[in-house]
A and B are shown apart, each in its own frame.
Chain A
Amino acid sequence: MPKLSYLKALNRALGDEMNRDPSVFVLGEDMNLALTNVTAGFLDRFGPDRVIETPLSEQGFTNFATGAAMAGRRPVIEFQIPFLLLLVFEQIANQANKFSLMSGGQHAVPVTYLMPAAGWRTGWGAQHSDQPYSIFAHMGVKTVMPATPADAYGLLTTAIRDDDPVVFFGPLASLGVREDVDFAELAPIPLGVGCVHRKGTDVTVVAIGHLVHDAIAVADELADEVSVEVFDPRTLHPFDWTGLAASLEKTGRLVVIDDANRSCGLGGEILATAAEEMRLIAPPRRVTRPDGAIVGASPELDVALQPTREQLVTAIQRVLKYGGDAA
C-alpha cells in the first residue's frame, strides 16, 4: 500500500473537496507560494479566484470568510502560526460561531480554520509554540485535532462539509507522520467520534494530537507489565464521551496526556467528566504543560516544559496502584 504523510493528507483532502464542491475556496498568507505546502499546486489547479493570497490582516480576512460563508461559500482559512488563532479568537468564537444562534437558524457559517503546524517548534520563540485548542472547545467551537494521516484526511473533509465553523489543529509534530493507506478507503470521519488505536484492559490513556504516537509507544514499551488502551478523541468538541465511558468501563483507570496548559485545559475537563460520570477505580491523573508559556528559544528549556513519555509512564504506574488485581 502507498504511504501517505499527514501533510500530504491535508493537501489531498482540501484538493478533493475543492474538486468536488465549487463553493470551497482557500485563503491565507503566502498562499501563492504555498509556503506551508498544504496548498502545493493549488494555484495552478484552481486559479486565483479560489486560492486567495491575503494581506497580513487576520482579523479582516477571518471576518471576510464569515461574510463569504453567509453568502453560500465554504472558506478554508489557513493560518501559519498558532497565536494567530488567538488574534482572531473573537472573530471565530464570538462572531462566526454565534450567527446561527443569533439569527434563529437563518445563517450558517461553514468556515474551516486550518492550523497545519500547531505546537512547539524548535527555537521559534514563546509566541509561536502554543496549542490553543482547549479554549476553542471551552467556547463551544467545533474543534478537531487528528493524529494520523487518514484521520487528518477524514476530519478535514468533514470540517469543510460541516455547516458550522470548525477549527482544525494539525500538530506540527505529526506533519511528518506517514502511514500505509488505501487511497480508495480515505473517507470522511464524523465529528465527535474517537478512536481506540490500541486495545487494553488495565488503564485508558487519552492522548491528544501528536501525543497519540507517544502514548502508543509507551503502551508498547509497557506491554509486558500492563495492558494500556490508547484512546484518541480526534475531535475535542464535541467530545466522544460515550467512547471514553466504554473504555473506562473496561479499564476503570484513566491517564490523560495533553500538550496544553494545566489550568482549564482539556485534560482537566476529561478528568472531571470521568470522575463525575464514569467508572473509575483509581484516582485519574493527567500529564500536561505547566501553566504559562513554553520558552521557545532553547530546546533544553522548551522540552523541559512539555509532556514526556517518562511522565506518562510514571502516571500509568501510579494509577495502577489502585484497584487491586490489575497491577
Chain B
Amino acid sequence: MTEPAQTLRDSLYRTIRLIRRFEERSIDLVKAGEIGSGIHPCIGQEAVATGVCAALDPDDIILSSHRGHGHLLAKGSDPGRVLAEMAGRVTGIDKARGGSFHPSDLSAGVYNATGTVGHGAAIAAGIAWASAKAGDGKVIVSFFGDGAVSQGALLEGFNLAALWQLPVVYVCENNGYATTLPVETAVAGTITGRGEAFGIPSRSVDGQDPEVVLAAAAEAVARARSGGGPSLIECRTYRYHGHHTFELKARLKYRDETEIAAWRERDPMDIQAARVDAGTRERIDAEIEELLDDVVRFAVDSPRPDAVDAQDYQYATGLRTRAGVADA
C-alpha cells in the first residue's frame, strides 16, 4: 500500500475526529432530553465510513444503516442539519420525518437507511441498475452490519447485483454484535463467504485503520465504475458504546470490559492521529470544537414541527387521507 498524500491523511483524521466528537455531543443531547429517540452511536467504527466515503465522488450514492451518522458526515452532509434531524427539528435533513434511524439527504448522495436490516442491499442494486442503464458512472455503496448477513433479503440483493454485474460496493461493518448477539454465535461460515458464493470479489480488512479501508474501497469502487460489478468488503471493527443509547440505562451484560479495552488499544482516531503532525491536529481539533458548538446551537435552537403538519410528505403526490375521527 502506497502512503496517501499528507493532505488526504489530514482529511481522514479530520473526518474521524468530526464523527467522534459529533457522536459524543449527540450522546450529551440524548442525556439532556434534546434527542428523544436516543441514537445508535458509531464511536469506535468511524474509520469505516471515513475510509469508504473518501473513495467516492460527490455524485456517488450511499445507503446507510441505523448506525448512520458517520456515513452522513463522511459523505458530506451538513452536520447542523443532521443533528437537527436527530433532534426532531424542522431544519433537519428530512424535516423531522426521518430522525436518527432513517436519514436521507439527497444533497449529499445519501439515499436512505431502511430500518429493515439488510434490505438496503437490493435497493442499492436497483439504484445501481438505473445508474448503469443511464450510463452516469455512479457507484452505489450499501452499508450494513454483521446482523444483516443472516437476512435472506441481503443475499437476494447480492444475487441480483452479481447476476447483472451492477456497480455496487457492499460494506459490512462487522462490529462483533447484532444488538447483543455475538457474531460467532450467529454467522455460520464467513461473511466474505457469502459474497464469494455469488462470485462477488470479497475481502475482509482491518476496519480500524481508515487508510486500509480506503485502499480496499478504492479498489472496489474502481471495479464498479469500470463495469466490473459488485464487491463486498468486510470491515472488522467495534463499537465502544452500546447498541443504542438505551444501554446507558439498561446496562446489558453481553461483553466484558477487557474486550472493550483491547479494542480501544486500536482506536481509529489514535491510529490516524499518529499520521498527522501535532500542530495540524490541534488546529483541526479546535476547528471541529468551534464547528460543533455552532452545530449544537443550530439544532437545539431550531423550531420543532407543528402538529398540524403531521400528514405532510406521507405521499409524494401530497395526498391527504381522512382524519382519525369523523368530525375533525
CB <8 Å contact, B126 and A65? yes
> Could you tell me the distance in whole angstroms from the C-beta of A85 to the nearest C-beta in chain B?
16
Question: Is B94 in the interface zone, CB < 8 Å from A?
Answer: yes
Q: Which of A64, A107, A162, A164 contacts B126 (CB 8 A)?
A: A64
If A164-B316, A164-B319 touch, whether A60 touches B98 (CB-CB below 8 Å) is no
Contacts of A64 in B (CB 8 A): 122-123, 125-126, 129, 157, 160
CB <8 Å contact, A73 and B104? no
In the docked arrangement, what's the CA distance between A101 and B163, Å? Answer: 32
Chain A-chain B contacts (Cβ-Cβ < 8 Å), number: 150
If A99-B104, A104-B96, A140-B321 touch, whether A73 touches B122 (CB-CB below 8 Å) is no
In the docked arrangement, what's the CA distance between A67 and B125, Å? Answer: 7
Instruction: Mark interface residues in B203-238 (1 if CB within 8 Å of A CB, else 0).
Output: 000000000000000000000000000000000000
CB <8 Å contact, B160 and A60? yes
In the docked arrangement, what's the CA distance between A326 and B273, Å? Answer: 87
If A57-B159, A60-B160 touch, whether A105 touches B126 (CB-CB below 8 Å) is no
Q: Which of A63, A71, A105, A273 contacts B131 (CB 8 A)?
A: A71
CB <8 Å contact, B316 and A163? yes
In the docked arrangement, what's the CA distance between A152 and B326, Å? Answer: 31
Question: Is A201 in the interface zone, CB < 8 Å from B?
Answer: no
Contacts of B317 in A (CB 8 A): 162-164
Question: Is A323 in the interface zone, CB < 8 Å from B?
Answer: no
Q: Which residue of B lies closest to A95 (CB)?
A: B114
CB <8 Å contact, A106 and B94? yes
In the docked arrangement, what's the CA distance between A69 and B112, Å? Answer: 13
Instruction: Mark interface residues in A141-176 (1 if CB within 8 Å of B CB, else 0).
Output: 010000000000000000000111000000000000
In the docked arrangement, what's the CA distance between A95 and B124, Å? Answer: 13
Contacts of B271 in A (CB 8 A): none
> Could you tell me the distance in whole angstroms from the C-beta of B227 to the nearest C-beta in chain A?
15
Instruction: Mark interface residues in B110-144 (1 if CB within 8 Å of A CB, else 0).
Output: 01101110010111111111110110000000000
CB <8 Å contact, A67 and B128? yes
Question: Is A131 in the interface zone, CB < 8 Å from B?
Answer: no
Q: Which of A63, A75, A98, A237 contacts B122 (CB 8 A)?
A: A63
Question: Is B299 in the interface zone, CB < 8 Å from A?
Answer: no
Interface residues of A in 68-106 (CB under 8 A from B): 68-73, 75, 90-91, 94-95, 98-106
CB <8 Å contact, B156 and A67? no
Question: Is B67 in the interface zone, CB < 8 Å from A?
Answer: no
CB <8 Å contact, B122 and A67? yes
* Number of residues from A at the complex interface, CB < 8 A: 48
CB <8 Å contact, B319 and A238? yes
Contacts of A95 in B (CB 8 A): 114, 116, 119, 123
CB <8 Å contact, B116 and A90? yes
CB <8 Å contact, B159 and A107? no
Q: Which of B114, B123, B312 contacts A105 (CB 8 A)?
A: B312
Q: Which of A57, A100, A277 contacts B315 (CB 8 A)?
A: A100
Question: Is B300 in the interface zone, CB < 8 Å from A?
Answer: no
In the complex, 25 of the A-B residue pairs with CB atoms within 8 angstroms, ordered by the A residue number, are: A59-B119, A59-B156, A60-B159, A61-B122, A61-B156, A64-B122, A64-B126, A67-B124, A68-B130, A69-B126, A70-B127, A72-B134, A95-B116, A100-B313, A100-B314, A102-B94, A104-B92, A106-B94, A106-B106, A107-B104, A107-B112, A108-B316, A109-B316, A110-B316, A164-B319
Known: A57-B156, A105-B312, A163-B315. 12 other contacts (CB 8 A): A59-B156, A60-B122, A60-B125, A69-B126, A71-B126, A71-B130, A98-B102, A99-B112, A105-B95, A105-B97, A107-B104, A238-B321
Across the A-B interface, the 7 shortest Cβ-Cβ residue pairs: A67-B126, A60-B156, A104-B95, A71-B130, A63-B122, A108-B316, A103-B104
A binding-site residues for B, Cβ under 8 Å: 49, 54-55, 57, 59-73, 75, 90-91, 94-95, 98-110, 140, 142, 162-164, 237-238, 241, 273, 276-277
